[in-house]
Amino acid sequence: MSDDPPEQRPPGTRGRLRGDGAGSVDTVISVDDVTREAERLAAEGPSRDEIAALAAGTPFLYIDGLVAGYGKMEILHQLDLQVGKGQSLCLIGPNGAGKSTVLHSIYGFTNITGGTISVDGRDITRLGPNAKLRDAGVAYILQDNSVFPDMTVEENLWMGGYLMDQPAKAKQAAEQVFDRYTRLAERRHQLARVLSGGERRLLEISRALVMNPEILLVDEPSIGLEPRYIDMVFEILHDLQHVDGKTIVMVEQNAKKGLEFSDIGYVLVSGQVAMAGKGSELLENPDVGRLFLGG
Ligand SMILES: Nc1ncnc2c1ncn2[C@@H]1O[C@H](COP(=O)(O)OP(=O)(O)OP(=O)(O)O)[C@@H](O)[C@H]1O
Ligand SMILES: [Mg+2]
């Protein structure tokens, strides 16, 4: 057994993944090796038809040939992504592959120099984040800890409705969230700083729900959480997809959890889709297993 399973390793650290042999030290492969091997896989990425076939029916979120980055630095090169309404898609891949940048681009945080992003047939490529949230039903749950620690749980939720024209509407929407998550309701008057990691993540997700979005962009939902909270977060996301019909695009370092959860999985390497398949298929894929699932 490796004493450093990838699912417990924070991103950005130089970790080691177990190989596919007996799992002994000799078969451990470095992160650099993972990147090199993944780039080999990327050389023949999926066709647009394969990407289209994975999305159920007409794609709800449709990204075509996206070229995007930060300033003059191009990170995503001709990226395609398609997901049907009520489906979930998980992006996995090495650190720095551009997974978060895909979510940033959908939400409007990057410099887009080519391609299009549309939701439900409407081109939203050039909309800024506020318009995305208010008019296009796209909500983004950040990778970084984003609760306001010195505000109460209730005030944090109200912040989720900052784009609503009347504060009363935000409060009403917050009450609906409290009705659903009693765990938060019990703590509504406490400062967010006293919440446990799992409760904080719940608050982050809930805050995004205040605007009643159709599409949830979720960056690393399990990061930094104890296993029992990881399960809780995935159960909440499962309900949002299967009970509420939300469309979910997530990035997950814990590739096993992310692929188990998601209908569709993409392996992203160097700003391009290297592999695409049903989540369950990628879980069974020996290359994915060796490179991203710890053997
Ligand atoms: N705000 C930014 N400004 C400039 N460069 C950025 C910014 N955010 C990310 N980058 C760069 O873009 C590239 C892709 O980063 P991104 O965060 O999308 O990777 P990632 O796949 O999410 O990695 P990780 O698994 O470590 O979270 C990296 O080279 C990174 O340094
Ligand atoms: Mg990231």
Render each residue's pLDDT in the chain as its tens digit; 295 residues: 344 444 443 333 333 333 333 444 445 677 777 777 777 776 778 999 999 999 988 999 999 999 999 999 999 999 999 999 999 999 999 999 999 999 999 999 999 999 999 999 999 999 988 888 888 899 999 766 789 999 999 999 998 888 888 888 889 999 999 999 999 999 999 999 999 989 999 999 999 999 999 999 999 999 989 998 999 999 999 999 999 999 999 999 999 999 999 999 999 999 999 999 999 999 999 999 988 887 6
Whether 39 is in a domain gets the answer: yes
In angstroms, the CA 23 to CA 271 distance is 30
| Residue to mutate, 99, 220, 250, 266, ligand 1, most ligand atoms under 8 Å from C-beta | 99
Closest CA to 208 of 162, 109, 141: 141
The verdict on residue 73 lying in a domain is yes
Ligand 1: which residue has its CA nearest to atom 6? 70
In a domain, 85, yes or no: yes
In a domain, 162, yes or no: no
Q: Which ligand is nearest to the CA of 93?
A: 1
Q: Which domain holds residue 261?
A: 6-147+195-292
Among protein residues, the one with the nearest Cα to ligand 1's atom 5 is 70
- 174: in domain: no
Say which ligand is closest to the CA of 142.
2
- Identify the helix (H) or strand (E) that includes residue 275: strand 272-278
**Packing angle of the helix pair 197-209, 167-180 (nearest 10 deg):** 130
- For the whole model, what pTM was predicted? 0.86
Is the separation of the CB atoms in 107 and 129 below 8 Å?
yes
Determine, yes or no, domain membership for 209. Answer: yes
Which long-range contacts link 274-278 to residues 24+ away (Cβ below 8 Å)? 274/38, 274/39, 274/41, 274/42, 274/45, 274/93, 275/41, 275/45, 275/46, 276/45, 276/46, 276/50, 276/51, 276/54, 277/54, 278/54
Residue closest via CA to ligand 1's atom 16 equals 98
Q: Could you tell me if residue 155 is inside a domain?
A: no
Element (H, E) at 286: helix 286-292
Q: Which CATH number is 136's domain given?
A: 3.40.50.300
Looking at the 3D structure of the chain, how many domains does it have? 1
Is 96 inside a domain boundary?
A: yes
Q: Any residues with Cβ below 6 Å from ligand 1, and which?
A: 11-12, 70, 73, 75, 93, 95-101, 253
